[in-house]
A and B are shown apart, each in its own frame.
Chain A
Amino acid sequence: MKKQTVKNQDSDQNTERRGMERRDFFKLLGGGIFIFLRPWRGLDLPGAPALAEQGRSLPKDYNAFLRIAEDGTVSCYSGKIEMGQGIITSLAQEMADELNVSVEKVKVILGDTDLCPWDGGTWGSMTTRGFGPNMRAAAAEARGVLLDLASKQLGVPVSQLEVKDGIVSDTKNAKNSVSYSQLTKGKKIEKFLDVKPAVMDPGKFRNIGKSFNHSDANLKVTGAAKYTGDLKIPGMVFARILRPPSHGAKITSVDYSAAEKIEGVKVVHDGDLVAVLHENKDIADVAISKIKAEYSFNEMPVNDKTVFEWMLKADSKANVARTKGDLEEGRKSSEKVFESEFHDPYLAHAPMETHSALAQLEGDKMTVWASTQTPFPLQDAIARDLGFPLEKVRIITPFVGGGFGGKSSNPQAMEAAKLAKLSGKPVMLVFTRDEEFFYDNFHSAAVIKIKSGIDNSGLIKFWDYHVYFAGTRGAETFYDVPNAKTTDYSRNRDGAPVHPFNTGPWRAPNANTNTFAREVQIDIMASAAGIDPLEFRLKNLKDEKAISCLKAVAEKFGYVAGKSPGGRGIGVACGSDAGTTVAHMAEVKVDKTTGKVQVIRIACAQDMGLCINPEGATIQMEGCITMGLGYTFAEELFFDGGNIRDRGFDTYQIPRFSWLPKIDTVILDRKDKAPQGGGEPAIVAIGAVVANAIFDATGARLYRMPMTPARVLDAIKKAEGSKQ
């Protein structure tokens, strides 16, 4: 905060990227105190450079702002969105502490491109670690402005003032006081800051570090919370779009005469887009089913069974992500060498709310309400693809019914906007569950090959890691290995695409795959060395966060040391993602005749730096653990070329109540450290901890997710065969 510079509005003209001039905000918002923040380091983080490469210039003026309104209400404006991760609660806690107001006085306004400053999107568990500290700096600045005003009004120096619940008072005469509301009345004060993220003295926390329930819970339990599909505007019609049977198929002929005969149905045909519109959703559904079309097919010769071989054969470029020491030296000094290959399939995001959008063209302005994680990139895309000036496109993000990375892509919003433009009507497009599966940007299938070795004391001497199409998030080993190399085969490829459909980020993108492979390989070495898997990890770690998480989880779990396989069904694994480190222990029961695995309990310890809302963070950990059981046990996309065979929850299984283990969580007390991500880390090691527990129970090693009963049974048979 010491580094801030204050400028007046006129000196800063750089609004080239913004769709809306800054002065327009004031028209919309009225008076009060406004604090604008310049770009922060958060923009250097993953995603921003990629957006820049795609020709989207990043804003140079500001990325956030805070307003103290004339009624004393504090509003925090951000281009982030709320999809269940709880940021409308945690951001309010942070603002309340800096400004000495009650949490209820803080409004968090999200995801509206006209009201909120530019933001790259809500992913990577970035809100709390990237955005929060900057907003706190803004809040601290606002508090300074308010104290200056109060000092003048009350006639005492700032040092003699204290703030409590939005009331500034004279420490020597409590009656000499003034409220934020009185101070801001009739004023319009703007400040522009280059700030360094603030780190507040933990001793001053009143709300930060305390548990708060979701502030939107009341709206959500009464059905009052509005999601995109809940909106209704006059003249609105529902759209259904004709879909090809598989990715890569193209329409060669289409006959929609039967659909057009249905009263009130309007057919829109523009190039490859064939849609029906009707004010009644059920009738639109009937109309689309009446359309007949022929297609030409151009599919990749790959399916869910051949995909791993396909990936290894793909003409991918090796990219050395990291190298340390000399692998050959490491190999020579190893007593035992291990070589493994791990497989992970394509996964669907399957949020409960399907992609939805409502688009309305009024005059020359396009407004789109969308269930999206990326309102600003969506604004860019609509402006570019449909030929609107940026300032004529507004994206509004209501509550989002789950995203998990899947709503970083917005095909439904592009289509709704196009249909609204072509038809002149407000168009609501709610993806069917079938469309949600078909047009998902799937978690990529991947192959990982690891060669590693240990010396006779159980120290890891080399680590040769090859990752095909999972990327490198979570690929770096945090074990203390003198000779290590990570080679990535998923980037910088020329030539034909490898995936037959779109792939994209899926909660802790790729880190699930990489952590599974690494932590199973570690377990393989621990077992071969005859060392308890916890001890083996501690022996090979210097990373303080990983060590303290492992110790904390062992305590929470009540871990008793023992070599694996020991028949107990207990597994250990750890991981790191979004700046946060996690360690898990799990106990499983394996039915050796059916291969069915039930997780009895899972414990997780998490070091996430300063934890703003322990309740919210715990919920995220529980959610990660529960969702993680899905990719661990059942989730696997069946496909044949471009034909997605899983189109619903009848075949694509996600976690259910009967899968529930007992879940214990512990968040390490790190009040003096910067906050880190909380939405994703606790999911990364679930596959590994379960695989290691299955090994402990049965001696059977699983190298492929999901660990279905058939695969578990197969692994058990192999393990028994090798014993004989």
Chain B
Amino acid sequence: MEEISFQLNGKKTEVKIDPTQTLLWVLRNHFGLTGTKFGCGMGFCGACTVLIDNEPVRSCTLPLRDVAGKKVVTIEGLAVNGKLHPVQKAFVEHDALQCGYCTPGMIMNATGLLLKNPSPTTQQIKEGMEDNLCRCGAHVRIVEAVHTAAKEMKGGK
């Protein structure tokens, strides 16, 4: 057991826990933040993507120890006072989802992508999203949604 402190969705958080446990299951089981999904447990699918210090990271392979002192944002922390984040809003507008299971990971990865590159080309979006898997085939709409979100985020809205 170790005391690990980090920022979770904007709040300072301390947890006494076995630090080798993965961030994914600590988020889901300990904090009840089940929007971050288990897809493969090996970092291959991206369903568990969260932002750590604004970088998209696979939480399923990350021991909790590694987030000490860092800022973690999950899908639940993206909307502000119930107002959807531009990426979430764009996913709704474009119907960029079907079963919705990969959606939180897609949104977190896209958010990280846009933080790094606010005006991505279609090619850059595809490259940036390449390792997030979707089985339903919502890909074309996800690309459109990321473009729309980019425009809105640049507009400062």
Taking beta carbons and an 8 Å cutoff, which residues of A are in contact with B? 83-86, 213-214, 216-227, 229-230, 232, 280-282, 350-354, 399-404, 430, 432-433, 615, 619, 622-627, 648-650, 654-658, 660, 663
Which chain B residues lie closer than 8 Å to A660 at the CB level? 126, 139-140, 143
Given contacts A352-B135, A430-B38, A657-B139, 8 further A-B contacts (CB under 8 A): A220-B103, A281-B28, A352-B99, A622-B141, A648-B44, A650-B44, A655-B137, A657-B130
* Given A353-B37, A627-B136, A660-B139, CB of A213 within 8 Å of CB of B95: yes
Total A-B residue contacts, Cβ distance less than 8 Å: 174
Determine which of B78, B99, B133, B142 lies in contact with A399 in the assembled complex, contact meaning CB atoms within 8 Å: B99
- Whether B92 pairs with A433 at a CB distance below 8 angstroms is no
Chain B residues near A220 (CB, 8 Å)? 97, 100, 103
| A627→B141 CA distance, assembly (Å) | 14
A623-B29 CB under 8 A given contacts A221-B88, A225-B100, A656-B130:
no
Instruction: Write out the residue numbers on chain B whose beta carbons fall within 8 Å of the beta carbon of A84.
Output: 97-100, 136
**Smallest distance from the beta carbon of A648 to chain B beta carbons, Å?**
6
Those 10 A-B pairs whose CB atoms lie nearest each other, nearest first: A223-B35, A401-B101, A626-B137, A84-B99, A220-B100, A84-B98, A623-B137, A230-B34, A223-B75, A433-B40
Decide if A351 touches B137 in the complex (CB within 8 Å).
no
Which residues of A have CB within 8 Å of B93?
213
| CA of A650 to CA of B78, assembled, Å | 30
Asked whether, in the complex, the Cβ of A352 is within 8 Å of the Cβ of B47, the reply is yes
Listed residue (A221, A403, A624) with the most chain B CB atoms within 10 angstroms of its CB: A221
- CB under 8 Å from chain A, chain B span 69-94: 74-76, 78-79, 84, 88, 91-93
Q: Tell me whether B57 is interfacial, beta carbon within 8 Å.
A: no
B42 / chain A contacts, CB cutoff of 8 Å: 433, 648-650
Distance in angstroms from B132 CB to nearest chain A CB is 8
User: Are B127's CB and A658's CB within 8 A?
Assistant: yes
Question: B64 — nearest CB in chain A belongs to which residue?
Answer: A282
Asked if A232 meets B135 with Cβ closer than 8 Å, knowing A216-B100, A657-B126, the reply is: no
Question: Cβ of A658: which chain B residues have Cβ within 8 Å of it?
Answer: 126-127, 130
In the assembled complex, the Cα of A232 lies from the Cα of B29 at a distance in Å of: 8
Question: Known: A222-B79, A223-B33. Contact between A433 and B97, CB under 8 A?
Answer: no
* Residues of the A chain whose Cβ atoms lie less than 8 Å from the Cβ of B127: 657-658
Q: B41 to A432, Cβ gap below 8 A?
A: yes
Point out the residues of chain A lying under 8 angstroms from B25, CB to CB.
Answer: 280-282
Q: Is the interface of A mostly helix, strand, loop or mixed?
A: loop
B40-60 with Cβ < 8 A to chain A: 40-42, 44-45, 47
Complex contact B101–A623 (CB within 8 A): no
Q: B143 → chain A, closest Cβ, in Å?
A: 7
User: Is the C-beta of B129 less than 8 angstroms from some C-beta in chain A?
Assistant: yes
A147: shortest Cβ distance to chain B, in Å? 35
A-B contact pairs, 26 of them (CB 8 A): A83-B99, A214-B97, A214-B98, A217-B91, A222-B75, A222-B88, A281-B29, A352-B45, A352-B99, A353-B39, A401-B37, A401-B99, A401-B100, A402-B98, A404-B135, A430-B38, A615-B95, A619-B98, A622-B140, A626-B139, A627-B135, A627-B137, A649-B40, A654-B133, A655-B137, A657-B126
Chain B residue with the shortest CB-CB distance to A402: B99
Contact of A221 among B41, B84, B132 (CB under 8 A): B84
Docked-complex contact A402 and B101, CB < 8 angstroms = yes
User: What class of interface size applies to chain B in its complex with A?
Assistant: 35 or more
Instruction: List A contacts of B40 (CB < 8 A).
Output: 433, 648-649
Report the nearest A residue to B79, measured CB to CB.
A222
A213 to B125 alpha-carbon distance, docked (Å): 23
Whose C-beta in chain B lies nearest to the C-beta of A404?
A: B135
Known contacts A221-B92, A657-B130, A353 near B137 by CB under 8 Å:
no
CA A107 to CA B135, docked complex, whole Å: 27
CB B133 to nearest CB in A, in angstroms, measures 6
A352-B133, A353-B99, A401-B101 given; A218·B92 CB < 8 A: yes
**Which residues of chain B come closer than 8 Å to A624, judged between CB atoms?**
137
Q: How many angstroms between the C-alpha atoms of A689 and B132 in the bound complex?
A: 27
Q: Is there contact, CB below 8 Å, between B133 and A656?
A: yes
Q: Shortest beta-carbon distance, A5 to chain B, in Å?
A: 40
- From the candidates A86, A229, A399, A654, name the one contacting B135 in the complex (CB within 8 A): A654
Tell me the bound Cα distance from A83 to B125 in angstroms: 26
The smallest beta-carbon distance between A440 and chain B, in angstroms, is 13
Contact at B138–A623, with CB atoms within 8 Å? Answer: yes
Asked if residues B34 and A86 are in contact (CB atoms below 8 Å), the reply is no
A86 to chain B: closest residue by CB: B98
CA distance A85 to B134 in the complex (A): 14
Kindly report which residue of chain A lies nearest to residue B94, judged by CB atoms: A213
- The complex places the Cα of A658 from the Cα of B140 at a distance, in Å, of 11
Question: What B residues does A615 contact at CB under 8 A?
Answer: 95
Among A222, A399, A400, A648, the residue within 8 A (CB) of B84 is A222
Residue of B nearest to A403 (CB): B99
- Residues A232 and B100 in contact, CB atoms below 8 Å apart: no
B32 contacts the other chain (CB 8 A): yes
Is B22 at the interface (CB under 8 A from chain A)?
A: yes
Indicate whether B107 reaches chain A with its CB closer than 8 angstroms: yes
Report whether A223 and B136 are in contact in the complex, using a CB–CB cutoff of 8 Å: no
- What chain B residues lie within 8 Å of A650 (beta carbons)? 42, 44
Minimal beta-carbon separation of B19 from chain A (angstroms):
11
Which residues does chain B contribute within 8 Å of A225, judged by CB atoms? 100
**In the complex, what's the smallest C-beta–C-beta distance from A504 to chain B, in angstroms?**
16
Q: Which residues of B contact A226 (CB under 8 A)?
A: 34
Is B150 in the interface zone, CB < 8 Å from A? no
A281, A623, A648: which contacts B98 (Cβ < 8 A)?
A623
> Which of B92, B102, B139, B140 contacts A352 (CB under 8 A)?
B102
Query: In whole angstroms, how far apart are the Cα atoms of A619 and B145 in the complex?
Result: 14
Nearest A residue to B22 via CB reads A282
Closest to B103 in A: A220
Cα distance A84–B76 in the bound complex, in angstroms: 21
A196 to chain B, nearest CB (A): 32
When distances are taken between beta carbons in the complex, the residues of chain A under 8 Å from B78 are 222
In the complex, A654 Cα to B40 Cα: how many Å?
A: 14
Interchain CA distance A224-B134 in the complex, whole Å: 19
In the bound complex, CA of A615 to CA of B135 (Å): 19
Decide if B117 is an interface residue (CB 8 Å cutoff): no
| Contact B39–A214 (Cβ < 8 Å) | no
Q: Measured between C-beta atoms, what is the minimum distance from B144 to chain A in Å?
A: 11
Known interface pairs A220-B103, A282-B25, A619-B95; A649-B139 also in contact (CB < 8 Å):
no
B112 within 8 A of A: no
B101–A619 CB distance below 8 A: no
Among B38, B99, B103, B140, the residue within 8 A (CB) of A351 is B99
Residues of the A chain whose Cβ atoms lie less than 8 Å from the Cβ of B95? 213-214, 217, 615, 619
Chain A residue at smallest Cβ distance from B108? A223
Residue B21 CB within 8 A of the other chain: yes
Give Cα A624–Cα B20 distance, bound, in whole angstroms.
Answer: 40
Distance A430 CA – B127 CA, assembled complex (angstroms): 30
User: Which residues of chain B are within 8 angstroms of A214 by Cβ–Cβ distance?
Assistant: 95, 97-98
Residues of chain A within 8 A (CB-CB) of B101 are 227, 351-353, 401-402
Q: Is the CB of A223 within 8 A of B21?
A: no
Least Cβ distance of A445 to chain B in Å? Answer: 20
Q: Name the residue of chain B whose CB is nearest to the CB of A657.
A: B126
Taking CB atoms, residues of chain A closer than 8 Å to B107 are 221
Which residues of chain A have C-beta atoms less than 8 A from B28's C-beta?
Answer: 230, 281
Cβ-neighbour of A626 out of B33, B104, B140 (below 8 A): B140
Residues in chain A near residue B75, CB distance under 8 A = 221-223
A430 to B25, CA, bound (A): 12
